[in-house]
Amino acid sequence: MCGGTGNLEQMNRLQEAGVISEYEKKKMTAGNGGALNPTWVEWLMGWPLEWTDLRPLGTDRFLSWQRRHSAGF
């Protein structure tokens, strides 16, 4: 719930009004500390899936094939 401008102030007001406890405010404003799923982030940003994968790209394999097959030209 706490992720944009003014949300922390809103959480403080809710706590002061007795709507939420200190514990609830801490849980709602704390991040989970985990890592994001790279495929999901790529999808979210509109990038091709597995664009940021660390596996070698197909271009390397193609260039190797091209060098082998065009050596006589």
What's this model's pTM, rounded to 2 decimal places? 0.38
Q: What are phi and psi of 37, to 5 degrees?
A: -75, 120
Give the CA distances from residue 56 to residues 43, 60, 62, in Å, rounded to whole numbers and listed in that order.
Answer: 20, 7, 11
Write the pLDDT tens digit of every residue in 18-71.
Answer: 988 888 888 777 766 677 888 888 888 888 888 788 777 678 777 887 888 887
For residue 38, the tally of other CB atoms under 10 A from its CB is: 15
Contacts of residue 28, Cβ cutoff 8 Å, sequence gap at least 6: 1, 2, 11, 20
Contacts of residue 25, Cβ cutoff 8 Å, sequence gap at least 6: 11, 12, 14, 15
More confident residue, 4 or 56: 56
Going from N- to C-terminal start, the domains of the chain cover 1-34, 35-73
* Geometric angle at alpha carbon 6, from 40 and 12, rounded to 5°: 110
